[in-house]
Structure 1
Amino acid sequence: MSQEVRNQEPQVLWNHFADLNAVPRPSKKEERVRAFMVDFGKKLGFEVVEDAIGNVIIKKSASPGMENRKTIIMQSHIDMVHQKNNDTEFDFLTQGIDMYVDGDIIGAHGTTLGADNGIGVAAIMSVLSSSDVAHPAIEALFTIDEETGMTGAKELDKTILSGTILLNLDTEEDDEIDIGCAGGVDITATKNYDLENVSFDYTTCVLTVKGLNGGHSGMDIIKGLGNANKMMTRLLDAMQKAGDVHIESIHGGSLRNALPREANTIISFKKTDAIMDKFNRCKEAIHDEYKSLEVNLDITLTETTAAKLALTATDSRHLVFTLLGIHHGVYRMSPDIAGLVETSNNLARITLENGALQIACLTRSSVESSKTDLASSISGVMKLAGMEVKLSGHYPGWQPNTDSEILDIAKAKYETLFNHSPRVVACHAGLECGILGERYPGLDMISFGPNIRGAHSPDEHVEIPSVQKFWKYLLEILKDIPKA
């Protein structure tokens, strides 16, 4: 199916995307894609630099007649989120993405597509490999580990770039120009529980929540989609109201930046009409609440081999109380920018195995004090439950600058090309611009990209006409970079 992708227009971009998607590139394991990018730049005869953390920088001189323009930085990240459906056999460490074309969209069979941020990378590669695109001097910056820590941006060498304008190609709405984004912090809670033998007359079951949409924990948090971890917690709480429930294990969610699509827990309890009635009523309520949003939601309670060791009923109850108390979703909307989520939290992952518990959250905000407030609130709930809490991976937001030369150029170009005004927005995702602006103060920055749907989930797909629009728009912006 790669050939069908390569046949789409603009072919130069889709060919680079197909080449990129043939290289395994999960976050924190970018060795092969880094080598791929280095080889790409060297084959073109350009200066190629790898900094100490692993970012790849390819420098190309201005095209004829553009030598007096400002040097620009074109930036995208080379890692991708590795998510797959449970019934999909796929190894992100060894396999290239299996793509398909369906009408006007390109997706992947059972996995994330990597359009986030592979389309941006492919667009930059297309400019670098071109002989007929007008452009100023370019410093192409390909960062690593954006999706799980923004490590590349945080550790970027502060002396390696000279550009004064940055074009970040990592947004997912083709009628938007982004000029701001949220910062974030990872919250991790751990605790070890003593286990006890489960009574012989208890029934052991697997409680499973699956079939949710999932999605980007920043961009999609406003949609009110289901969180498998929170649904599982509600069901456990309902059952505990009718009797003791012993939790043996939990596996819910996966990555911090992905809304949890699936969760399961092994539990033991005395099977009574009362406890089953509580479960069924809660299940029915959840289905009713999410019937228009989560049409494939599937909740099951299936008997399995009897458990031998599990948390005590008291510890199980207290764990559920804690999970109930951890905020998930929008915490505060921006009072200044209509429709913008200011602060949110994603209860991303819960694991409990052999008494060892770990809870992982990602708290985002465009306001640092609000981010701190919510992180403190969540940490407080965890600490009351006797958990050890660690805050890590702090990264700053990107403060919007409406007095921007490149923004004015981009707005004018958009209006000329498409006969209407773009939306100038700040987003609730964690773009690297805030960090890059700290590393290189004074950068004039915008972010834009094509329509990408379902990012960070196996439903991820990109719209072919939108990529064509994005490519046309990018080329026009490059032509109009101001003089130095």
Structure 2
Amino acid sequence: MEYVIKGYEPADALRYFEEISAIPRGSKNEQAVAQYVYDFAKDLGLEARIDTTYWNVVVKKPASPGCEDKPAVMIQGHLDMVCEKNAGTAHDFEKDPLDLYIEDGLLKARGTTLGADNGQAVAYMMALLARNDLVHPPLECVFTSMEEIGLLGALQVDTSDLHSKYMLNVDCGPEGTVFVSCAGGLLQDISKKVRWEKAGGDTVSLQVRGLLGGHSAAMIDHEMGNSIKVMGRILHGIQKQMEVHIVSLSGGSKMNAIPRESDAVITVPAGQGDKAIEIASHIAATAKAELAASDGGLYLQCEKAGATERQMSLADSRQIIEFIFLVKNGVYTMSMEMPGLVVCSSNLGVATTDDTGVQLTDFIRSSDPTIRDHLDDEIRSLAQLLDIEIAPADPMPGWKYEAESPLRQLFMKLYKEQTGKEMVAVATHGGLECGILKDKMPDLDIIAFGPTADGAHTPDESLDLASFERTWNLILATLKALAEQ
């Protein structure tokens, strides 16, 4: 093929990035790229296996001569990418290659996401597998799938034949940071089956608007307003002064996003509609004042609505309102070891209504499994008291910070030697595959890092090619040091 990326080092890793960019690889569409990586490894004569259900690929490469007795190193990243494009961009993510170009030293894709998240890791691993002039311990390269939709490949990857002592995850950045901890997750699917009855009284429509929202990992400690919780507060306030029947309730769209908007339609006793609107408006104004410094755009659209045919029973409505009002949301615990790090949080992210009743989605994040389980138990106990169901769920493990990490110390030392700068150790409240693999292989010493790449998950995504090269050199230096120590 004719390569767009020319004149940059390391040319081999960038060539592989360009080759995988020609293969559609959105989440749940990894079969072709997984087969490509597997065939690539087999053509090199390397030991490789492919999971034809989840499309994870594992490739093993023997140590360079004289390093056979050194502990193995796992290098890990995911095959899939987020598929987003600008309006008007004619691109089919199911069949079209990415249209790569370079601008001011940045690699980009015209009108679409670039897939540096996490094509950078795939390219690095392929270059390491292909090169025979490097000094390194035994390598175990793990290519996972469906990371972008819940770390699904990592949850299913078979590690029974892996023996690595160290793990390099190349799914983080920017350059100059090393990640040392991440949160796990627990998804709570919450439901309340209701009894419907003929509606009566005044109908009132409420719409919470103007909140900023944000990612429930990165923004959970920014005191952003949660529209579903605000709606619960409003309905609870009305309910304290009159009977409230829910007709419908909705809000949010993703478990991992703080909901910006929510809607409710309720009925109240005949002649009480204006009073309900007055109560709701007062509570919304109070909430807006409380959020003035962090999320001050909150406003409530509230008005009488036309008559509706059905409403939920009073008992069911009360239980739903009280659950939303009382359920924990936001930061639950903070770290004492790493100031500013959220250890555990909860985000009530989605609310919907159908013929059976109301469904809610809550997502707990935690790097500490005991705190996660305690919060889960709190929420489940509240649900049980209010006759609300929460489906059983398996947690996604987190990666708890460990003060002692020889790999991290070595990596930071090599970075300073390479750049003259101090590397910053960072813990994230977001989810990484590191937590899942640490759970499967508890003795792993893990670091997560990557080159500078901006705009992930958007058509503005870019990869800094100079940073890509420096990170490549740091990987080589780390492997060489591990082989020689």
Normalising TM by the smaller chain, what interval? 0.7 to 0.9
TM-score (norm 1): 0.78
Taking the TM superposition and a 5 Å limit, the aligned residue runs for 1:291-440 are: 293-294=294-295, 300=301, 307-440=308-441
Retained in 1: the 8 A contact 2:289–2:296?
no
Counterpart in 2 of 1:260? Answer: 258
CA distance change for structure 1 residues 330 and 108 in 2, over 3 Å: closer, same or farther?
Answer: farther
Contact 1:24–1:94 (CA under 8 A) maintained in structure 2: no
Instruction: Show the 5 A alignment for 1:209-288.
Output: 209=209, 212-215=212-215, 217-238=216-237, 240=239, 245-256=244-255, 258-269=256-267, 272-288=273-289
Task: Go from structure 1 to structure 2 and tell me whether the alpha carbon gap of 1:232 and 1:43 turns closer, same or farther (over 3 Å shift).
Answer: farther
Amino acid at match of 1:160: D
C-alpha distance in 2, partners of 1:460/1:80? 14
CA contact (8 A) 1:156 1:439 kept: no
CA distance in 2: counterparts of 1:305 and 1:41, whole angstroms: 65
| Cα 1:41–1:219 shift into 2, 3 Å | farther
Cα deviation per residue 1:281-317 (whole Å; 9 max; x = unaligned)? 4444445544554587676558887643332355334
- Find the aligned partners of 1:123 and 1:474 in 2 and give their Cα distance: 9
Alignment partner of 1:191 is 2:189: no
**2:38 matched to 1:38?**
yes
SS of aligned partner of 1:420: coil
Residue by residue over 1:448-469, the C-alpha shift from the partner in whole angstroms, topping out at 9 and shown as x without a partner, is 22456776x7698566375565
1:75 aligns with 2:76: yes
Alpha-carbon distance between aligned partners in 2 of 1:320 and 1:273, rounded to the nearest angstrom: 20
Q: Work out whether residues 185 and 431 of structure 2, in 8 Å CA contact, stay in contact via their aligned partners in 1.
A: yes
Shift of 1:168: 1.2
Q: Sort the Cα spacing of 1:369 and 1:90 in 2 relative to 1 into closer, same or farther, 3 A.
A: farther
Distance 1:460 1:194, change over 3 A: farther
Contact 2:344–2:365, Cα closer than 8 Å, also in 1: yes
User: Pairwise mapping of residues 88-99 of structure 1 onto structure 2 (< 5 A)?
Assistant: none
Residue of structure 1 in register with 2:143 after alignment: 142
1:361 positional shift:
2.0
Query: In 2, Cα distance between the equivalents of 1:240 and 1:310?
Result: 15
CA–CA distance in structure 1, aligned partners of residues 221 and 329 of structure 2: 11
Give how far 1:386 is off.
Answer: 0.4
Residues 325 and 4 (structure 1 numbering): CA distance in 2 closer, same or farther, change over 3 Å? Answer: farther
Q: Distance in 1 between matches of 2:243 and 2:104?
A: 52
State whether residues 137 and 483 of structure 2, in contact with CA within 8 Å, keep that contact through their aligned partners in structure 1.
no
Q: CA deviation at 1:409?
A: 1.7
Whole-Å Cα distance in 2 between the matches of residues 276 and 97 of structure 1?
Answer: 52
Alpha-carbon distance in structure 1 between the residues aligned to 2:316 and 2:431 = 36
User: In the alignment, what sits opposite 2:49?
Assistant: 49
Shift of 1:240: 4.6
Which of structures 1 and 2 has the bigger CA Rg? 2
> How far 1:328 moved relative to its partner?
1.4
Deviation at 1:320, TM superposition (A): 1.9
Deviating more after overlay: 101-110 vs 404-413:
101-110
Shift of residue 322 of structure 1? Answer: 0.5
Unpaired segments ≥5 residues, structure 1: none
Q: 2:247·2:267 contact (CA, 8 Å) conserved in 1?
A: no
CA contact (8 A) 1:206 1:301 kept: yes
**1:161 aligned counterpart, secondary structure:** coil
For 1:158, what is the secondary structure of its paired residue? coil
2:345 alignment partner AA: S
Q: Which amino acid aligns with 2:258?
A: P
Kept after mapping to 2: 8 A contact 1:110/1:458: no
Q: Give, as a single letter, the amino acid of the residue that structure 2 aligns with 1:342.
A: V
Would the aligned equivalents of 1:150 and 1:432 in 2 still touch at CA under 8 Å?
yes
Cα 1:42–1:114 change in 2 (3 A) is: same
Q: Does the 8 Å contact 2:208/2:230 carry over to 1?
A: no
Contact kept in structure 2, 1:80 and 1:117, CA below 8 Å: yes
Cα distance between partner residues in 1 of 2:223 and 2:340: 14
Shift of 1:390: 2.9
Give deviations 1:367-407, integer Å, cap 9, x for gaps. Answer: 33222211111111111110122342224333444443322
- Match for residue 180 of structure 1? 181
Q: Kindly state the Cα deviation for residue 412 of structure 1 after the two structures are TM-superposed.
A: 0.7
- CA drift of 1:344 comes to 1.4
Q: Is the 8 A contact 1:214 1:226 kept in 2?
A: no
- State the one-letter code of the partner of 2:352: T
Aligned partners of 1:74 and 1:384: how far apart in 2?
47
**In the superposition, relative to structure 1, how do residues 317 and 115 fare at CA in structure 2: closer, same or farther (>3 Å)?**
farther
In 2, the alpha carbon distance for the partners of 1:232 and 1:331 equals: 21
Calculate the TM-score normalised by the size of structure 2: 0.78
Following superposition, the deviation at residue 145 of structure 1 comes to 3.9
Whether the aligned pair in 1 keeps the contact of 2:412 and 2:422 (CA below 8 Å) is yes
Q: How many residues align?
A: 477
Separation in 2 of the partners of 1:293 and 1:429? 21
Q: Percent sequence identity over matched residues?
A: 31
